[in-house]
Amino acid sequence: MRHITPSQLQQLLQDGGQVQLLDVREPWEFDICHIQNSLLVPMGQIPVHHEQLDPQQTVVVICHHGIRSQQVALYLHRLGYSDVINLDGGVEAWARDVDLDMPTY
Q: What is the pLDDT of residue 66?
A: 98
pLDDT in tens, 76-98: 999 999 999 999 999 999 999 99
Angstrom distance (rounded) from CA 27 to CA 93: 19
Sorted by where each starts, the structural domains of the chain and their CATH numbers stand as 2-97 (3.40.250.10)
Given the residues 61, 63, 84, 95, the one annotated as active site:
63
Q: How confident is the model at residue 23 (pLDDT cuts 50, 70, 90)?
A: very high
Q: What are phi and psi of 62, to 5 degrees?
A: -130, 140
Catalytic site includes residue 33: no
Q: What is the pLDDT of residue 45?
A: 98
Q: How confident is the model at residue 36 (pLDDT cuts 50, 70, 90)?
A: very high
Q: How confident is the model at residue 61 (pLDDT cuts 50, 70, 90)?
A: very high
2-4: strand order across its sheet? 2-4, 84-87, 58-62, 19-23, 39-40
